[in-house]
Chain A
Amino acid sequence: MSSGTRLAIAIVTAAVLFFIFSGTIGVLFWSDLTDAEKQVLVPLISPRAGLIIAMVATGGAVVAMIIKALFESYDVLPARLAETAHLIVTTEPGRRLDEEGPGGVRELARVVNQLAEHRQVLQSDVEAQIRAGRESVEEEKNRLAALMSELTQSVVVCNLDGRILLYNNRARQQFRAMSDAPAVAGGGELIGLGRSIYTVFERGLISHALETLQTGLRKDVAQPVSNFVTTTRSGQLLRAQMAPVLSSRDVDERHLTGFILMLDNITRTFEAESRRDLLLHGATEGNRAALANIRAAVEMLDYDDLDPAMRERFVGVIKDEVQGMGKRLEEAAENFADTLKTRWPMEEMLGSDFVSAARGRIEASVGLPVKLEDVDGSLWLRLDSFSLLQALTYLASRLSDEFEIREVRLRLSEAGKMAHLDLIWSGQAMSTETVMNWELEPMQIGKESSPLTIRDVVERHDGEMWLEREKTRHRAFFRLLLPRAVPQDASETEQYLRGESRPEYYDFDLFKASENEHSLDDRLLSELRFTVFDTETTGLNPSEGDEIIQIGASRIVNGKLLKTESFEQLVDPKRELAKESAQIHGITEDMLVGQPDIDAVLPAFHAFAEDTVLVAHNAAFDMRFLQMKEERTGVKFDQPVLDTLLLSPLIHPNQESHRLEAIAERMGVHIVGRHTALGDAIVTGEVFLKMIPLLAEKGIRTLREAREAAEKTYYARVKY
């Protein structure tokens, strides 16, 4: 019943009651009068009947007004206050009641306001604490990720399903070395958030190691670890150490929630060690046998009754064995020297840094001015800077002492895999014998002496040294041939550039991810893994011979676009490229020379996209190109596909354009690098991520729902 109806009923009832009351009083009064009195009154009243009725009516009106006022105060006002209070509880915690009306009601409103105030303060406190907590967790995660990325050991953290939820830069590099197609996929098909570690390691190996950990945990071992060595598909030898990730909740019972793998590629160490073992083996056993033969023969020579022929034979044995031992020793020495050389701690140093260090050193300890001449600033050297500095200083000091040289110059230049480091001076060159002496005498600079000779130092660097003359300029120089260091891997630096503000190498939410709970079709879009991709092609018709010239792709895991885990590869189409097509994608024929062909790229891309749902804009186009190659490459893309072109009309049915640019603009996605395959794939990915919650609003939450809805738009479009 509305308050209006209630008010009407109350007023009518009150008026009726008032009239009944007035009427009753009138009737009682009238019946109490004697006839004589009635006779007197009638003439008095009858002319004033109108007045009496008016008075009664006024009385009724007054009653009605009083009722209305009371109703306002005690029904309408509390109801309005209640509504406002409800708003405070639900949506507007900052709203307050008007403190009005009669005393009791006003007091109630005041108390309610106080409660609301209290509640608001508490709420904002809790929110602030939650925010602070979240920030500190986020900060800790970032710090951990930053720390991990700096480690020189490769680390991979997985949940119990074997899904990778953290890895560092080093691991990424190591996995690249393990990749079957390092040039194309760069190991990205092996390592990535949410990818399965079982593509790299056998399931049995991991589960065995996990069992070892579990056993350790049950036996209350303080820090259970398990170790294993395994070979990878590409024949690399890996040593892995596995440590548990324990649940942080139960303090009493240690509960395994995942594991950490620390990996070492020991292929090269192992080779060196087995070579050393072989040497050691040859040196001990080979010589033991020979020594036995000699010793026996020598002891036979002691017998007096030995006839001369026999004696001759024993002496022959001794000679033979001694010769054999000598030879073995020589071989061992030679091989050992090789392994020793590899173990000599060499450092990689920017050549120009070394040259300036040498300049300072010579000027300080010999007192000879040094000038720099043509120092190649891009050269990296592999050297033992300490002994090499000594060598240069020693040479300079002898030049200064014995030939009164006033100034030397240093020059550094490239020489194929080696580098030339020249110590130049003006004037006469010394004789070859003198050079030889300098080379072979232990180095002595002032009071500082070294057991090493120049030749030792040069040999340790696997280098050479000689004297050359520049007759035209009346100069001579010592030339040191030194090994260059391999330049820093270009791809490593590239990763840093791409890494943007924070590394995307971890996703701890994956700890919670549960597998196989639903079939792919029934899982929420927000929890699926996607590969967003795009291709650039020579033209529009694969059936008429148009080919893919670039594939770009990125991954979406746990609702995040992982730009660092991207795939970008140019493809040699093995056919001519129409000139005008370069205006669209900016790819010229020159760029495609030497690129792998589709037969090499498609398997790598397939591995990259394994286990994910494919997403593309106008996917039908790209899929046709992929499917044309299925038969030839044997690579089949049979995973589910979502198309942003078909999903867009579900969200914005009244928009005319569903081109990628138009959607991106509507969704507020900033476009960079369009019309490269990777650029478009990333835009598609960002658009798709924004679509997921909007689709959910329309009741499209699972993969099945998205596919079915997209199908409808597709058919809708076809009908037009």
Chain B
Amino acid sequence: MANKVLIADDEVNIVISLEFLMKREGFDVSVAKDGEEAVEKIRSERPDLVLLDVMMPKKTGFEVCQEVRADAELGGMKILMLTAKGRDTEMAKGMALGADAYMTKPFSTKELVSEVKKLLGIAG
């Protein structure tokens, strides 16, 4: 069965590429346009991995991450945070709140794919 990946980002222009990329890798892809929708879809669809943007309307990526990690039922899900903020302090915050990996925009799509595969334990 294909791994489920949720893309949570409010910018259409990046979602387009991420969606294409993930589908191309054979994942089952769904998209959330803000923080609230992301939490809902995480609960209903139980993805294996979330690509979580930090700057989103309604709830930030940090809030989503914290909420999800507080829920023991969602334990095994991987979180890869994406952010335009390049500061070390924010990366530290993301990791502290329970993200499994953290990538700063602009990133290489190849690296993103290999990071996703690594998190899901798929041999790349």
Contact = CB atoms under 8 A, between A and B. Distances in A.
B84 A293 contact: no
Given A293-B11, A299-B110, A314 B17 contact: yes
A286 B105 CA distance: 10
Contact of A313 (B16, B24, B82, B110): B16
A289 B11 contact: yes
Interface in B41-92: 55, 82, 84-86
Contact of B86 (A284, A293, A305): A284
A300 B13 contact: no
Given A293-B11, A293-B13, A317-B13, A288 B20 contact: no
B21 interface: yes
Contacts of A337: none
Interface string B97-123: 000000011111110000000000000
Contacts of A305: 24
Nearest to B21: A300
B31 to A, nearest CB: 14
A297 B108 contact: no
Nearest to B20: A300
A334 B11 CA distance: 26
A126 interface: no
B16 A295 contact: no
Contacts of B6: none
Given A288-B104, A300-B21, A295 B84 contact: no
Q: What class of interface size applies to chain B in its complex with A?
A: 20 to 34
Contact of B17 (A285, A296, A320): A296
A310 B109 contact: no
Interface in A264-317: 284-286, 288-289, 291-297, 299-300, 303, 305, 310, 313-314, 317
A321 interface: yes
Contact of A289 (B18, B24, B84, B108): B84
Contact of A300 (B11, B82, B109): B109
Contact of A285 (B24, B82, B84, B109): B84
A297 B84 contact: no
Contacts of B109: 295-296, 299-300
Contacts of A285: 55, 84-86
B16 A297 contact: yes
Given A291-B106, A294-B106, A296-B109, A320 B13 contact: yes
B1 interface: no
Interface in B1-55: 11, 13-14, 16-18, 20-21, 24, 55
Contact of A317 (B16, B106, B110): B16
A288 B110 contact: no
B104 A297 contact: no
Contacts of B85: 285, 288
A228 B54 CA distance: 33
Interface residues of A, number: 22
A288 B106 contact: yes
Contact of B13 (A288, A297, A303, A310): A297
A317 B18 CA distance: 12
B7 to A, nearest CB: 12
Nearest to B110: A299
Contacts of B107: 292, 295
Interface in A682-698: none
Nearest to B113: A299
Contact of B84 (A292, A310, A313, A317): A292
Contacts of A295: 106-109
Nearest to A303: B24
A289 B105 contact: yes
Nearest to A296: B17
A291 B105 contact: yes
A299 to B, nearest CB: 4
A283 B110 CA distance: 26
Nearest to B82: A292
Given A285-B84, A288-B86, A297 B106 contact: no
Contacts of A293: 11, 13-14, 17
Contacts of B106: 288, 291-292, 294-296
B110 to A, nearest CB: 7
A294 B14 CA distance: 8
A288 B90 CA distance: 15
Contact of A297 (B17, B86, B105): B17
A310 B17 contact: no
A289 B21 contact: no
Given A288-B105, A292-B106, A296-B21, A321 B84 contact: no
A300 B16 CA distance: 10
Contacts of B110: 299
Contacts of A294: 106
A295 B104 CA distance: 13
Contact of B14 (A286, A292, A310, A313): A292
Contacts of A321: 13
Nearest to A288: B84
B15 to A, nearest CB: 9
A292 B21 CA distance: 14
Interface string A124-168: 000000000000000000000000000000000000000000000
Nearest to B18: A296
Nearest to A300: B17
Contacts of A303: 24
A291 B106 CA distance: 6
Interface in A300-345: 300, 303, 305, 310, 313-314, 317, 320-321
A305 B20 CA distance: 11
Interface string A395-417: 00000000000000000000000
A201 to B, nearest CB: 32
A657 B81 CA distance: 92
Most buried by B among A294, A305, A317, A320: A317
A317 B15 CA distance: 10
A240 B55 CA distance: 36
A310 B17 CA distance: 10
Nearest to A313: B16
Contacts of A284: 86
Contact of A296 (B14, B55, B104): B14
A289 to B, nearest CB: 4
B115 to A, nearest CB: 14
A284 B55 CA distance: 14
- Which of B24, B84, B85, B107 counts the most chain A CB atoms within 10 A? B84
Contacts of A317: 13, 16-17
A464 B4 CA distance: 64
Nearest to A310: B20
B14 A289 contact: yes
Name the residue among B16, B21, B107 with the largest chain A CB count within 10 angstroms.
B16
B111 to A, nearest CB: 10
Contacts of B105: 288-289, 291-292
A320 B105 CA distance: 17
Contacts of A288: 84-86, 104-106
Interface of A: 284-286, 288-289, 291-297, 299-300, 303, 305, 310, 313-314, 317, 320-321
13 contacts: A284-B86, A286-B84, A288-B84, A288-B86, A289-B14, A291-B105, A291-B106, A292-B14, A293-B11, A296-B17, A296-B18, A310-B20, A317-B13
Given A288-B105, A317-B13, 7 more contacts: A288-B86, A288-B104, A291-B105, A292-B84, A292-B105, A295-B106, A300-B20
Q: Which 7 A-B pairs have the closest CB atoms?
A: A292-B105, A296-B17, A292-B106, A288-B84, A293-B13, A291-B106, A289-B84
